Every structure is written in structure tokens, then in C-alpha cells.
């Protein structure tokens, strides 16, 4: 087993080298043997995603990037959607049980997750990546059969030693049998994929180590198979917090939960110290280019951040969305409040009715209530046609309209609108 950060002993396979230099390897059960396997022919690798949310988020990006690289280098990815395991809930490193999901929620979540996955790995063609749902086999088992076939291969003694459940037990928090069996289910997944698709490598987050190891063991005991496990690093920011939060919560991959521009902004706002690492992990630029960009200093790093944002957005949302986001970003921060195209439309007669500034701010969605809008105005954060307005009672009249009956409204540095009255 290797730990992250240790220098790569001469790796033979391109795949292992790439994953290593990208920083995608945290731990591996047997890097030499895996390297050997990757060098001698195509390897089938899988990563699983439970349907705990309606969309994947940036935390899921690392295993997906790993699969993407493997695919690019001639190996074959399988993405497992946890339609079965989601009915149980992974207890790993959690001090309380997950709320149980019902079937319709799981189905809806899987549909959302699938769309992001399809962008990241190529499912097309006979050699394309495979997308499978573990409900396919997990729901088929009968209880006694399952216990006899697999329950006999696990000892509670060993299961209790895993860090992933230790804290729960030490904290004397209840760990139900249902949750406790999760690791068996994931182990069976691996075995099943090995049998069905000759899958020999499982990739997961570092919290999945225990679950992965169980699968490897099961493969050895049942079928004398040689399986491998690889974990990707936990994604944290330079400031030490678990990464992936914005004002509205997690940084979702699905455009319905976070717009492609919002996604782009997230990466554009990366802290300086995170830029080199993120370029490696989340873009596919040659390492030489990554290094060049990483060496930029001071304000020049902003260029690197834009490239980072655009590259990641292109991977997750497509090149067109990435380009549009870049343009939108440039326009937004060009210094003026001018935007080329109207973002909102309002009925012209509202001017005659005495449209208030606060109403306008709420109308374009920059504040949730008049009170909030009022505070923004009083704090001097609101600009009308480029001029700061600090009177909350200000009314909008036709005199405020410029060419084509438009006016610009901006709140803070990053929220700008062009309203057209027609």
C-alpha cells in the first residue's frame, strides 16, 4: 500500500503515472501489482455513487476524473449507481443514520446523477463506459441465500475494526444492523462486477477504503480473484474546510441545481493557494501547462483561475457553456455595469404606476424582500445606471431609461442586470 505524497517508484503504466502526477491517488491496496495490470492490458474499473442527492457535487468529481483518465488511456470504466445500496445508507464516518430514502426519491436522484455522469465518461460505442444500477442484483437476493453465501464470508469481529464504524460505536451511537450490512452490500457489488464484467479495480473517496477492502477480500475468498482498490484524496480547500460550498449550498454538477455560470464562478473564486492543485486534479491540460500556470504570481494568477474555471466547466457542462460563462464573467467584472443583452424585462406601464427602487431590486431577484433590498440600498451597495443610489424611497421614472428603454441595475460586485421596459 502506498500513501499519498510518497514519490512514485518507477511506474510502468501510463495510467498509473498520470493518476499519480495528477494527484488523484490517495491510497492504493497494491500499487505495484495494479501498475503491472494497467501496463499489460485494459483494466475495467468502477466507482459507485449512491443516490443520496438529486445531483452529484464537486466532491464526486475526483473519482469521475479518475475514470475519465483511465478511459482516455485505454481502460474501461463502469459507473455504478446505487439504486440498491441507497435503500440502506452508508454509515461510514457518520455519527447518525441517514434518513431513509424511498423508491421514488431514489429513482429521481438516479436520473439526475446519470446526466452528469454521461458527460464525464463516454458511454457510446461497444467499448464505451458502462452504467449499471446495483439494484439489478441486490434486489434479487433472498435473505437466507444471501446470508449463507456471503454472510459466512464476513466476521463481525473484523467488521467492527473498521475506522468507518468505530467512532459510531465508541460514541455509543446506535448503528443498526441495516447500516452495518452496508459494507457487505458494497463488497458484493464489487464481486458481482468482477464476475459480470471482469472488473478488477474499485475507485472511491478516502472514506470508502474500508468498504473497498471488504470487496477485495470477498473476491479473494469466493472466487480467488485478485482485485484492487484505489482511493482519491479528500477534497479540502487551502483554508482547511471541506470544499464545495457556495452561498446556496453544495457546488452541484447538475445545471438545474447550479447554473453553469455559478459553477464557473465557483472555480474562478478559487483561493490562490489551491490553484496548482486544482489545475492538476480537475483539468486535463498537460502537466507542463499546469506548472506554467501555477507559477504565475499575484494578480496574474487570475488568468490561471479563469483557465481553471473554463476548463472544468467545459468538462462538466460542455465547451459552449464554458465559453458563455467565461464571457459572462468578463462582462460582469469589466468594471462597468454595462451588459450587452437585457437580462430582465418589465412592463412599461409599471413606471407610470410609480415603480420603487426596492421593488425593482426584488423584481430582478437581487433581494428576497423589500427589507433586504432596503438594507442593500442603505449600505451603498446598489447602483442604478452606474451611479450609487442610497435613497430607498427612490422611484424609477422614464428619465432613468437609456437607449432602447433599458436601465442597468447592479448590486455589489457580482450581480448586474440590464432591464428592458417594453
Torsion sign, CA atoms 56, 59, 63, 69 = positive
Neighbours of 220 (CB within 10 A): 14
Cα–Cα distance, 298 to 338 (Å, whole number) = 27
Beta strands in 303-381 (DSSP E): 344-346
> Judged by CB, which is closer to RNA: 35, or 274?
274
- 180, 339, 415, 420: residue in contact with RNA (rule CB under 7 A): 415
Give min distance, CB of 321 to RNA, in A: 16
How many residues of this chain bind RNA (CB under 7 A)? Answer: 38
Cα–Cα distance, 4 to 20 (Å, whole number) = 9
Identify residues 295-314 at the interface with RNA (CB under 7 A).
298-299, 301-302, 305-306
Query: H or E element: which one contains 135?
Result: helix 135-138
The site map against RNA for 354-383 (x = CB under 7 A) is: --------------xxxxx-xxx--xxx--
The verdict on 247 binding RNA (CB under 7 A) reads yes
Q: Which span sits near RNA by CB under 7 A: 182-190, 192-200, 276-284, 405-413?
A: 405-413
Give min distance, CB of 270 to RNA, in A: 7
- 269, 336, 397, 398: residue in contact with RNA (rule CB under 7 A): 269
Q: Are 19 and 25 in contact (CB under 8 A)?
A: yes
- 118, 122, 272, 420: residue in contact with RNA (rule CB under 7 A): 272
How would DSSP label each residue in 63-94?
HHHHHHHHHHTT-EEEEEEETTGGGT---TT-
Give min distance, CB of 101 to RNA, in A: 17
Cα–Cα distance, 92 to 185 (Å, whole number) = 13
Q: What is the dihedral of CA 244, 233, 192, 82, to 10 degrees?
A: -10
Give min distance, CB of 420 to RNA, in A: 23
Cα–Cα distance, 191 to 199 (Å, whole number) = 8
The verdict on 173 binding RNA (CB under 7 A) reads yes
Residues of the shown chain interacting with RNA in the complex, contacts defined by CB under 7 A: 172-174, 239, 245, 247, 265, 268-272, 298-299, 301-302, 305-306, 329-330, 332-333, 368-372, 374-376, 379-381, 411-415
Amino acid at each position: 500500500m502506498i500513501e499519498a505524497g510518497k514519490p512514485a517508484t518507477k511506474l510502468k503504466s501510463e495510467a498509473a503515472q498520470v493518476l499519480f502526477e495528477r494527484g488523484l491517488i490517495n491510497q492504493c491496496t497494491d500499487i505495484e501489482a495494479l501498475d503491472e495490470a494497467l501496463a499489460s492490458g485494459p483494466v475495467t474499473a468502477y466507482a459507485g455513487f449512491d443516490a443520496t442527492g438529486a445531483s452529484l457535487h464537486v466532491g464526486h468529481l475526483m473519482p469521475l476524473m479518475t475514470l475519465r483518465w483511465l478511459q482516455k488511456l485505454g481502460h474501461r470504466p463502469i459507473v455504478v449507481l446505487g439504486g440498491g445500496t441507497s435503500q440502506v445508507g452508508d454509515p461510514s464516518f457518520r455519527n447518525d443514520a441517514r434518513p431513509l430514502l424511498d423508491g421514488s426519491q431514489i429513482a429521481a436522484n438516479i436520473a439526475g446523477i446519470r446526466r452528469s455522469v454521461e458527460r464525464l465518461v463516454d458511454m457510446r460505442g461497444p467499448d464505451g463506459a458502462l452504467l449499471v444500477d446495483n439494484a439489478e442484483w441486490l434486489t434479487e437476493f433472498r435473505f437466507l441465500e444471501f446470508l449463507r453465501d456471503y454472510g459466512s464470508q464476513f466476521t463481525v469481529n473484523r467488521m467492527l475494526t473498521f475506522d468507518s464504524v468505530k467512532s459510531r460505536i465508541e460514541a455509543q451511537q446506535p448503528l443498526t444492523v441495516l447500516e452495518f450490512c452496508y459494507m457487505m452490500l458494497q463488497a458484493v457489488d464489487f464481486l458481482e462486477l468482477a464476475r459480470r464484467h471482469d472488473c478488477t479495480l474499485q475507485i472511491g473517496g478516502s472514506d470508502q477504503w474500508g468498504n473497498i477492502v471488504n470487496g477485495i477480500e470477498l473476491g479473494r475468498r469466493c472466487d480467488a480473484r485478485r482485485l484492487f482498490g484505489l482511493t482519491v484524496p479528500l477534497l479540502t480547500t487551502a483554508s482547511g474546510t471541506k470544499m464545495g460550498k457556495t452561498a446556496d449550498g453544495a457546488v452541484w454538477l447538475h445545471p438545474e441545481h447550479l447554473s453553469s455560470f455559478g459553477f464557473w464562478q465557483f472555480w474562478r473564486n478559487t483561493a490562490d493557494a489551491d490553484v496548482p492543485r486544482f489545475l492538476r486534479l480537475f483539468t486535463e491540460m498537460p502537466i507542463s501547462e499546469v506548472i506554467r500556470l501555477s507559477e504565475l504570481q499575484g494578480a496574474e494568477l487570475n488568468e490561471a483561475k479563469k483557465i481553471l474555471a473554463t476548463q472544468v466547466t467545459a468538462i462538466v457542462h460542455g465547451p459552449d457553456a464554458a465559453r458563455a460563462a467565461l464571457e459572462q464573467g468578463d462582462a460582469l467584472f469589466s468594471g462597468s455595469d454595462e451588459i450587452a443583452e437585457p437580462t430582465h424585462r418589465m412592463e412599461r406601464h409599471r413606471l407610470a404606476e410609480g415603480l420603487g427602487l426596492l421593488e425593482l431590486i426584488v423584481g430582478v431577484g437581487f433581494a428576497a424582500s423589500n427589507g433586504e433590498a432596503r438594507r442593500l440600498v442603505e449600505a451603498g451597495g446598489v447602483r442604478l445606471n452606474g451611479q450609487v443610489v442610497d435613497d430607498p424611497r427612490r422611484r424609477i421614472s422614464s428619465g432613468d431609461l437609456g437607449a432602447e428603454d433599458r436601465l442597468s441595475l447592479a448590486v455589489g460586485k457580482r450581480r448586474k442586470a440590464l432591464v428592458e421596459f417594453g
